[in-house]
Amino acid sequence: MAARALGVDDILDLRAYERVRDDYRRRVIELKRRRRVALGPIVTVVFECLDTVRFQVQEMARAEHIVTDEGVQQELDVYNRLLPGDGELSATLFIELTTERDLRHWLPRLVGVERELAFELGDPVAAVVHSEPEASHAEALTRETVTPAVHYIRFPFSVDAKERFAGGEPVALAVRHPEYEARAVLGAEVRAELCADLEGRAELLPIT
Model confidence at 203, pLDDT cuts 50, 70, 90, reads confident
Mean pLDDT calculated for residue range 101-130: 96
Model confidence at 135, pLDDT cuts 50, 70, 90, reads confident
Output the pTM of the full model.
Answer: 0.94
Mean pLDDT calculated for residue range 76-104: 96
CA 89/CA 199 separation, integer angstroms: 10
Mean pLDDT calculated for residue range 172-178: 98
Closest CA to 148 of 159, 160, 140: 140
- Enumerate the domain spans of the chain: 8-198
CA 47/CA 176 separation, integer angstroms: 19
CA 21/CA 59 separation, integer angstroms: 9
Q: What is the amino acid identity at position 146?
A: V
pLDDT, residue 1, reads: 47
Contacts of 45 (CB under 8 A, 6+ apart): 36, 37, 39, 91, 92, 93, 94, 117, 153, 173
